[in-house]
Structure 1
Amino acid sequence: MEFEHSAFQEMLSLGCTNKKNVIATFQAYLNLCEERKFWDVQFHNLKNENIVYLTAKEKKNDPYCNLYLIIPSKESINLGKLCSIQKQMCELHPHSEFKVILKDPDSTCTQYKLTKGLSILSLEVAKERKLSMEKHNYLQNEFNKMKQDLYTEVKHKLYENNSLQ
């Protein structure tokens, strides 16, 4: 599928060999320009990652552009690569917010804002959090099992106390 649109041809000329990324980015470009009416929508090539990304302002007078990484929804991306891309893009465009657009085959574009400092947990911290959550869930389940018995016992004691008076 080839587009004759001048912006698409310009994106292709940036040197990105990842056709899926270029097509998804072009469709997101149209979404930002025509549907969302964003200002100053531009595309850029992050050569060492072989991707094309967008910058745009939501309002005409916004001082900084937002950064948009477009990912086709059927593709997967690991957190390490996403962190690397975010860091590189934010170094090129300081003071900009980093957003990911998941692009569905039906042209739906869903945006997610990612904050700086996104990081991968160490294995030890992840295990510790998992154990803590498991312990919390276990205690919650035990409490729920005992709750009815405790309620019945308290009710019985109150009844006994009332009948003795």
Structure 2
Amino acid sequence: MDIETSIKQDMKSLGCDSDVKISLAYQLYIHLVDEKLMYDTEYCYNKDVDTLYVVARPRKNEKLNIYVPIRTYDDISVEFINKMQENLCTVESGHSINLAFIEGDSTIVIYSFTKGLVERPSSQKVTEYRKKEERRSYINSELMRHRSEILNDALNGGMVDDDDCQVLD
């Protein structure tokens, strides 16, 4: 029996019945062992999320990293990433998870996701923020444009009429 068959049978014995998941995990495992030369590389299965994944250390004394193999054309959502982090992250591995996107030609691209980062604001909040920034930019440009007059009035005790004042939100 060759090594590939042996590893794939071992992955199947962990509880994973999907040949696709086993194939992806095998490709990732070989990539991390042979190309990335990672330490303590092991494959694991979590039945709660039906996921076959790989854990490895990039360097001998670093913490374990979690690598989840994903096909490049699979839809990935923030909920999926959160679910993986909740079910796979441990005290030893920390709050990060690595999604390894695997293309049909065995190209592997790895992205890291860390739990606790700020979620993307809604489009309404972005619009409000842009308006606020535009207003701030306008005020700064007006202050710069009238800088010499403002400084001159400040140094000479200039008077400001109530009619010249405008309250800004």
- Per the normalisation by structure 2, the TM-score is 0.67
Determine the C-alpha separation between the residues in 2 that align with 1:92 and 1:49: 19
Q: Structure 1 or 2: larger helix share?
A: 1
Tell me the equivalent position of 1:89: 88
Aligned residues: percent identity? Answer: 25
Determine the C-alpha separation between the residues in 2 that align with 1:19 and 1:76: 19
- Per the normalisation by structure 1, the TM-score is 0.69
Match of 1:76, SS?
coil
Gaps of 5+ in 2: 139-169
| Contact 1:80 1:120 (8 Å CA) reproduced | no
Match of 1:49, SS?
coil
Where in structure 1 do 4 or more consecutive aligned residues deviate above 3 Å?
91-94, 118-121, 132-136
Match of 1:77, SS?
coil
Could you list the per-position Cα deviations for residues 96-154 of structure 1 after superposition, in whole angstroms to 9, with x for gaps in the alignment? Answer: 64211111111111111111125756xxx514234237758xx6xxx9xxxxxxxxxxx
| Contact 1:102 1:109 (8 Å CA) reproduced | yes
Q: Give, in angstroms, the shift of residue 91 of structure 1.
A: 3.5
| Contact 2:39 2:58 (8 Å CA) reproduced | yes
Tell me the equivalent position of 2:25: 25
Determine the C-alpha separation between the residues in 2 that align with 1:16 and 1:119: 33
Matches within 5 A, 1:1-165: 4-62=4-62, 64-91=63-90, 93-95=92-94, 97-118=96-117, 125-132=121-128, 135=131
Structure number with bigger Rg: 2
Change over 3 Å in CA distance of 1:49–1:118 after alignment to 2:
farther
Residue identity in the other structure for 2:28: A
Match of 2:9, SS?
helix
| Contact 1:17 1:50 (8 Å CA) reproduced | no
Tell me the equivalent position of 1:158: none
RMSD: 2.7
